[in-house]
């Protein structure tokens, strides 16, 4: 098993890119945001615990997120593509320790960079499939569903994430800016760190990502 990481601010397209990549490459997509949203919508003990933080755009505490991730990785044999994890230096260091203890390699770390002004437009127009087994992502400007409000892939209703409002985005960006620099510095010196310019059409970013993954395979 190898573990790859997509870095980038909320709205940079990590989730969309991850979903398209796993259609083409032998990778399993693991989004901590999707796992946590599923827990919130099912009202599990975890969901009740993290609900308020998620709704206001704050991060969930490191130990909770690490616990979810390591339990998920424990018996995994396939290569994993993380989206939204690690989010803090502590998570990155904990992941590294976990991987070393398992004799598992860190694969690519791809940093999708994008200017902040672009993010609000993307996030406010984002719609996601409400089916937790699908989680397809749409955009009212650039990727509209064939039938308004309905997922093309599974027919479930689309919804606007409660943390995709300008207010919650502001809080998510504050969190991001607080935690990102040390996280980026942790990975920047590593040989598998790659930078991708995110202010481009998603198809071009996709092609670049496929190229990067194929080069290192």
Of positions 3, 5, 6, 60, contacts ligand AMP by CB under 6 A: 60
Annotated catalytic residue 72: no
Phi-psi sector, 30: left (phi>0), alpha (psi -120 to 50), beta:
beta
Answer yes or no: are the C-beta atoms of 82 and 4 closer than 8 Å: yes
Annotated catalytic residue 126: yes
Q: Per CB under 6 A, does 9 bind ligand AMP? A: no
Annotated catalytic residue 172: yes
Q: For residue 216, what are the CA distances in angstroms to 14, 206, 211?
A: 19, 16, 9
Residue closer to ligand AMP (CB basis): 146 or 156: 156
Q: Per CB under 6 A, does 10 bind ligand AMP? A: yes
User: Could you give the string, one character per residue 140-179, with x where binding to ligand AMP holds by CB under 6 A and - elsewhere?
Assistant: -----------------------x--------x-------
Q: Which stretch binds ligand AMP (CB under 6 A): 17-25, 29-37, 148-156, 188-196?
A: 29-37
Task: Give the C-alpha separation, 7 to 192, whole Å.
Answer: 13
Of positions 6, 27, 30, 65, contacts ligand AMP by CB under 6 A: 65
Task: Give the C-alpha separation, 192 to 216, whole Å.
Answer: 9
β strands within the chain, DSSP E = 2-7, 28-31, 80-83, 105-113, 126-129, 137-139, 158-159, 193-197
Of positions 59, 73, 123, 129, contacts ligand AMP by CB under 6 A: 59
What is the contact surface with ligand AMP in residues (CB under 6 A)? 10, 32-33, 36, 53-54, 57-60, 65, 84-85, 87, 91, 163, 172
């Amino acid at each position: 098993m190898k573990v790859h990481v997509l870095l980038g601010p909320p709205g940079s397209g990590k989730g969309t890119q991850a979903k398209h990549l796993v259609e083409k490459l032998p990778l399993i997509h693991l989004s901590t945001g999707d796992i946590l949203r599923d827990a919130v919508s099912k009202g599990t003990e975890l969901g009740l615990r993290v609900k308020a933080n998620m709704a206001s755009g704050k991060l969930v505490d490191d130990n909770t997120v690490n616990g979810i991730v390591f339990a998920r990785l424990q018996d995994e044999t396939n290569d994993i593509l993380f989206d939204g994890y690690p989010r803090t230096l502590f998570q990155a260091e904990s992941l590294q320790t976990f991987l070393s203890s398992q004799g598992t390699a860190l694969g690519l770390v791809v940093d999708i960079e994008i200017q902040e002004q672009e993010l609000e437009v993307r996030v406010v127009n984002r719609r996601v499939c409400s089916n937790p087994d699908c989680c397809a992502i749409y955009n009212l400007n650039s990727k509209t569903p064939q039938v308004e409000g309905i997922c093309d892939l599974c027919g479930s209703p689309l919804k606007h994430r409660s943390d995709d409002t300008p207010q919650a985005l502001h809080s998510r960006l504050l969190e991001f800016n607080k935690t990102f620099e040390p996280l980026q510095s942790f990975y920047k010196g590593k040989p598998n760190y790659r930078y991708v310019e995110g202010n481009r059409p998603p198809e071009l970013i996709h092609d670049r990502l496929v190229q990067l993954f194929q080069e290192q395979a």
